[in-house]
A and B are shown apart, each in its own frame.
Chain A
Amino acid sequence: MTSKKQLKKELIIQSALELFASKGFYSTTIPDIASSVKISVGSMYNYFTSKDVLAKEIIKYISLYLGNKLQNINEEKISTEEKTKKIVEVYFKTASLKPEMIDYFLRIYLSNREVFKNGCEGMICVNEFVTEIMIYFEEGVRCGDLRDQDFFSAFGLFMGYLGGMVFLKGEEILPKALDTYIDDISYNIYKALSK
């Protein structure tokens, strides 16, 4: 794919992501997306053959974005406690600066499983992100900082907590800005997972 076409594709992904996250998956149409990036409906299909395909590409795009951020943290020579805080920071920063990404994950990906069941089995479409979380856990246990346990009991505690906070923020229930919670939440998560 030429770089021009690649750029256009990313533009469509970003616009569709914002539309899906704000209006919902079913209320957003291909013509809506086409008009937001100023291309014809016909040429939209040169990039994505259906709305479902686009939806799957978006979740992969988010996973890759967050996965890359987490990989940078995992590769730093810092303690597991510091990594924990940095992961929380990245997640909340993304939720603040690119709220559509986390909204998409929570409101589209997790809530419309029928769209993702073919092609996004298991955690395939969020593989990059989950892989980095696994590496963070594995290295934490290996160096003796974290307590060994089932992956999902730890994963649920970490991501459920962060997702819940972002959800509360989205519902305008949180009284303060997300980043004011970073210290306490990082402390709670590390305390819960450490030995």
Chain B
Amino acid sequence: MKMIKLLWLSGITCNANTHSFLNYPFIEQFLNDFEFIYHPVLDSSYTLQEIVSNEIECDVLLIEGSISPEFQRADVSIEDIIRKYAPKVQKIVTVGTCATFGGIFSQSDYKDVTGLHFDKEQKNQKFENLFDKTISISGCPIHPEILVNTLYAIKGDIALRLDNFLRPKEFYAYTVHNGCVRNEYFEYKVDAHQFGELEGCMFYDHGCQAPFTHASCNKILWNEVNSKTRVGLPCFGCTEPTFPKANLFTTKKNMGVPENLPLGVGKRVYLTLAGITKAFKIPRLEKKLLDD
């Protein structure tokens, strides 16, 4: 199979997606199958200066970080670099929530900071002509396996079905709640959670956004072993256009009712079910799992 040439372009970023990508467990195999014509950290075939001054052959443009018309790389506007390479490549991949939705750098001092196609939920007009060739891999940071699997799908000419934000449904049609080992506590409304402990659901009081966040964190585990919710930390909703929200460790409630409910569940349905489960105390779920 032909070697796929990748250009990893950094916008306004903390490089967390780069670091996350380096944790891909089979990176050596990956680097045998793909060639970086430029990557900010890995050895690459060309320098950034060469990338911006010439037109190097490339198959996939990866964009990490938010975009602003003011922001430059190698003294060239990031938007101009995108305009130069975008028409030549087969696919564009926005790597991370900043490149996809603007993310945390939307709050930076640069002017008009957005993602490539979205300013939070709002669609941008600027690069509309590139919309059909873009795939969004949101996350803060991206899950390395999801990025890599997407790139292998591009390499293998496998058509990925995308959601409205251009995220592959294969990875983003689920919620983080799917596969969470605390589901039993969720079902019976047992929160009473201390961060880092095995017991309790974090949706009711501790800010967990898993039931309304699209991602596969509890299906494709991080470093092949764990996830935030498994280890006892709430999901921060980092794959969503609304990321980052404030007060990530507390559940926003109105008169005791969570403001954000599990995806697609109506308020009346939720309250009816919650009213029933709340009426019962299940001693097994109130106790510690290992130490009585």
- Interface residues of chain A, those whose CB is within 8 Å of chain B, are 71, 121-124, 127-128, 130-131, 134-135, 137-142, 146, 148-151, 154
Q: Which of B169-202 contact A (CB under 8 A)?
A: none
CB distance from A143 to the nearest CB of B (A): 10
B268-291 Cβ-contact flags toward A at 8 Å (1 or 0): 100110011011100000000000
A150 to B254, CA, bound (A): 9
- Interface residues of chain B, those whose CB is within 8 Å of chain A, are 253-257, 259, 267-268, 271-272, 275-276, 278-280
Which residues of B have CB within 8 Å of A135? 257, 267-268, 271
CB pair A137–B275 under 8 Å, yes or no, is no
CB pair B275–A127 under 8 Å, yes or no, is yes
Q: Name A149's contact: one of B255, B271, B272 (CB within 8 Å).
A: B255
A139 to B279, CA, bound (A): 23
Which residues of A have CB within 8 Å of B280? 121-122
Known: A121-B280, A131-B268. A138 touches B257 (CB 8 A): yes
Q: Which of A122, A134, A137, A139 has the most CB of B within 10 A?
A: A134
Known: A131-B268, A131-B272. A137 touches B257 (CB 8 A): yes
Closest 9 CB pairs of A and B: A122-B279, A151-B256, A141-B254, A137-B255, A121-B279, A138-B257, A131-B271, A138-B254, A127-B275
Main secondary structure of the interface of A (DSSP, over half): helix
Which residues of A have CB within 8 Å of B278? 122-123
CB distance from B193 to the nearest CB of A (A): 19
Q: Which residue of A lies closest to B254 (CB)?
A: A141
CB pair B256–A134 under 8 Å, yes or no, is yes
A91 to B156, CA, bound (A): 66
CB pair B279–A134 under 8 Å, yes or no, is no
Which residues of A have CB within 8 Å of B268? 71, 131, 135
Q: Which residue of B lies closest to A134 (CB)?
A: B271
Q: Which residue of B lies closest to A143 (CB)?
A: B254
A-B contact pairs, 21 of them (CB 8 A): A71-B268, A121-B279, A122-B278, A123-B275, A123-B278, A123-B279, A124-B275, A131-B268, A131-B275, A135-B267, A135-B268, A137-B254, A137-B256, A138-B254, A138-B267, A141-B254, A142-B254, A148-B255, A149-B255, A151-B257, A154-B255
CB distance from B253 to the nearest CB of A (A): 8
Q: Which residue of B lies closest to A141 (CB)?
A: B254
Which residues of A have CB within 8 Å of B259? 142
Which residues of A have CB within 8 Å of B256? 134, 137, 150-151
Which residues of A have CB within 8 Å of B271? 131, 134-135
A146 to B254, CA, bound (A): 9
Known: A135-B267, A135-B268. A122 touches B275 (CB 8 A): yes
A75 to B31, CA, bound (A): 58
CB distance from B205 to the nearest CB of A (A): 13
CB pair A151–B275 under 8 Å, yes or no, is no
A134 to B266, CA, bound (A): 13
Which residues of A have CB within 8 Å of B267? 135, 138
